[in-house]
Amino acid sequence: MPVSSTADDQTADDVDGAALPINELFYSLQGEGKLTGTPSVFVRTSGCNLRCWFCDSYHTSWEPTHGTMSINDIIEGIQSHGDADHVVLTGGEPLIHDEAVTLLERLDDLGYHTTVETNGTIHRDAPIDLASISPKLASSTPTAEKDPKGDGEWADRHKDRRIDFDALGALVDDYDTQLKFVVTGPDDLPEIESLLADIRSTAASRIPDSDVLLMPEGTTRDEVDARRNEVADLAMEYGYRYTPRLHVDLWNDAPET
Ligand X SMILES: Nc1nc2[nH]cc(C(=O)O)c2c(=O)[nH]1
Residues comprising the binding site for Mg(2+)? Answer: 57
For ligand SF4, give the closer residue by CB, 25 or 48: 48
Closest CA to 194 of 142, 137, 134: 137
The site partner of 217 among ligand SAM, ligand SF4, ligand X, none (C-beta below 5 to 8 Å per kind) is: ligand SAM
Question: Candidates 2-10, 43-51, 98-106, 166-174 — which segment interacts with ligand SF4 by CB under 6 A?
Answer: 43-51
Q: How far is the CB of 158 from ligand SF4 (least distance, A)?
A: 8
Strand-pair category, 86-90 with 67-70: unpaired
For every residue of 141-166, which 3-state class applies, written as one string? CCCCCCCCCCCCCCHHHHHHHCCCHH
d(CA 52, CA 49): 10
Q: Please say which residue, 98 or 109, places its beta carbon nearer to ligand SAM.
A: 98
Query: HSE (CB half, 13 Å, CA atoms) of 162?
Result: 20
User: With contact defined as beta carbons under 8 Å apart, do 170 and 124 qualify?
Assistant: no
119 scored as a contact of ligand SF4 (CB under 6 A): yes
CB of residue 163 vs ligand X: minimum separation in angstroms? 19
Residues 100 and 20: beta-carbon distance below 8 Å: yes
- Is 54 in a helix, a strand, or coil? coil
CB of 55 to ligand SAM, least distance (A): 5
Among 23, 45, 60, 243, interactor with ligand SF4 by CB under 6 A: 60
Residue ranges binding ligand X (CB under 6 A): 28-32, 42, 57, 88, 90, 117, 247, 257
Q: Verify binding: residue 7, ligand SF4, rule CB under 6 A.
A: no
The residues that touch ligand SAM, with contacts defined as CB under 6 A, are 48, 54-57, 90-91, 93, 117-119, 134, 180, 182, 215, 217-219
Could you tell me whether strands 212-216 and 241-242 are parallel, antiparallel, or unpaired per DSSP bridges? Answer: parallel
